[in-house]
Structure 1
């Protein structure tokens, strides 16, 4: 799978988990200690994030890291 495709699929999974919890992109960024615009960038698949950030997202989204991986 191409890296751009992976990033887009990862972003979709983050968005679905976030919406299921009723968290805004801005609040997700705040809880993860990201810049407030970073959540949208992740969800659109515009960036390949670090493993540390994947774990931080999973913790805030109350899921296992594997739930976010394509």
Structure 2
């Protein structure tokens, strides 16, 4: 599986478990909702900084974003 696509699915999964909308997660991570949407669909290559901000907003270790 493509790493970017896998990451997007994982972010969506963790966001759903956390019970937050894309808009809320984007706000918590300090990014635009459209950026997060693109990331979840696997159409955007995130920066390391963005991954760190998303992980912090989800209250998970960044490694959790890449687990199966």
Does TM-score exceed 0.5, indicating one fold? yes
Q: Structure 2 stretches of 5 or more lacking a match? A: none
Q: Structure 1 stretches of 5 or more lacking a match? A: none
Flag as ranges the 4+ runs of structure 1 deviating above 6 A: none
1:7 aligns with 2:19: no
Aligned-pair CA distance for 1:36:
2.0
Please provide the CA RMSD for this pair. 1.2
Q: Size of the alignment, in residue pairs?
A: 67
Partner of 2:51: 54
